[in-house]
Amino acid sequence: MSDDKHEVDGLIVDDDPVLDYILYEEMLEENKKHKNAGGCLALFILFLLPSVTGFLWLVRMS
């Protein structure tokens, strides 16, 4: 673990370095999972906003 570039200084939870390493790896995986959540929302807004404004424009023109 000393060669790992993401090494955390000190122990996270307990005096057990194996448990700390497992928790640290899980935290890294959680951070990777949440990075893509904003892209989905942006795509939803990108396609929804023009559709709604176009619909409202058509309703006003009638």
The string of DSSP codes covering the chain is: -TT-TTPPSS-SSSS-HHHHHHHHHHHHHHHHHHTTHHHHHHHHHHHHHHHHHHHHHHHHH-
- The model carries a pTM of 0.36
Residue 5 confidence (pLDDT): 47
Domain ranges of the chain: 17-61
Cα distances (angstroms) measured from residue 55 to each of 30, 35, 47: 39, 32, 13
How confident is residue 13, by pLDDT bands cut at 50, 70 and 90? Answer: low
The total number of residues shown for the chain amounts to 62
Q: Which residue has the higher pLDDT, 6 or 35?
A: 35
- CB-based contact 34:40 (threshold 8 Å): no
